Copies of this chain bind each other. A is one copy, B any other.
């Protein structure tokens, strides 16, 4: 063990983001997947993560499962709480990105302004908006979780795409046409983008 801290004062010698990225062989980045319920955000995030793991990359998925029950367990579904939900997820993504992790977030995040505010707090190139784009008819025809049926029956109020708006990205770094292409094709598209843009070191 080598302890090189003899001359340390406050914050001198702090391990940098660059040092962590060198260790990991990758650049930290947040892939912000946005799209309707049933568009395939989680499926694509999980598949992309598996493919990245095969390459030895460190990733982490933020989704409803690990955020709504933990960090954001004290938030409801009012407009204010939805905005705060996305804000906190953005701040946590920023911390993970600073660690050098490739973060994949899988939230409907229907409001352009909320997503733009996340983009705003992050450095250029750290935030990649990925529009997982399948139209509502396609998503409803899948209805993997039976949510559209419930929404049509009026059992879920303010359901995005049915009784609440989805504001599609206007400047997404990537549009993944999950209505037309397979999960494998979507994953290849995302990994190709990361490779081309230099996020994945050899």
Q: Could you tell me which A residues sit within 8 Å of B by CB distance?
A: 1-6, 8-15, 19-20, 23-24, 42-43, 46-47, 49-51, 53-56, 58-62, 66, 70-71, 74, 84, 88, 91-92, 94-96, 98-101, 121, 144, 183-184, 187-188, 191
Residues of B within 8 A of A121 (CB): 70
- Shortest CB-to-CB span from A21 to chain B, Å, is 10
- Expressed in whole angstroms, the Cα–Cα distance for A170 and B55 within the complex equals 44
Closest chain B residue, CB of each to CB of A4:
B50
B residues near A43, Cβ cutoff 8 Å: 8-10
Residue of B nearest to A56 (CB): B23
Known A1-B55, A47-B3, A92-B92; judge A11-B42 contact (CB<8 A).
Answer: yes
Q: Which of A9, A50, A55, A191 has the most CB of B within 10 A?
A: A50
Of B24, B42, B188, which is within 8 A of A3 by CB?
B188
Contact B1 A58 (CB under 8 A): no
